[in-house]
Amino acid sequence: MKKFVVGILSAAFILGAGTAVFAAGNSNSGERISFEKMLPFMQKMHPDSSKAELKDMYKACHKGEGMMGDTKGKENMMNSF
């Protein structure tokens, strides 16, 4: 009986944690992040960079064939895991 209860509780914990991770990962899946939304975070990570340099960095990563841009079905860094 003890093994049964432990098994049920373990399964409930695993399913609950999996559901929470799935929900957190898909919260903004259809929304693209704009430069204006990213600017405060980028300034925090790169305090010595100017706004123009940060904008160029954003474009390099998010536009066209950039690391996080539209790769037309090809694998990129964000969907290779």
42 within 8 A of 58, measured Cβ to Cβ: yes
Distance of CA 46 to the CA centre of its chain: 19
CA 57/CA 53 separation, integer angstroms = 6
Q: What percent of the chain has pLDDT over 90?
A: 26
- Check if the beta carbon of residue 70 is closer than 8 Å to that of residue 79: no
Please check whether residue 57 is in contact with residue 68, taking contact to mean a CB–CB distance below 8 angstroms: no
Query: So what's the pLDDT on residue 35?
Result: 83
- Residues 56 and 49 sit within 8 Å (Cβ to Cβ): no
pLDDT tens profile 6-41: 999 998 888 888 777 776 665 555 556 778 888 999
pTM value? Answer: 0.45
- The residue-averaged pLDDT of 46-55 equals 92
Tokens found for residue 60: 């390099």
Instruction: State the pLDDT at residue 22.
Output: 72
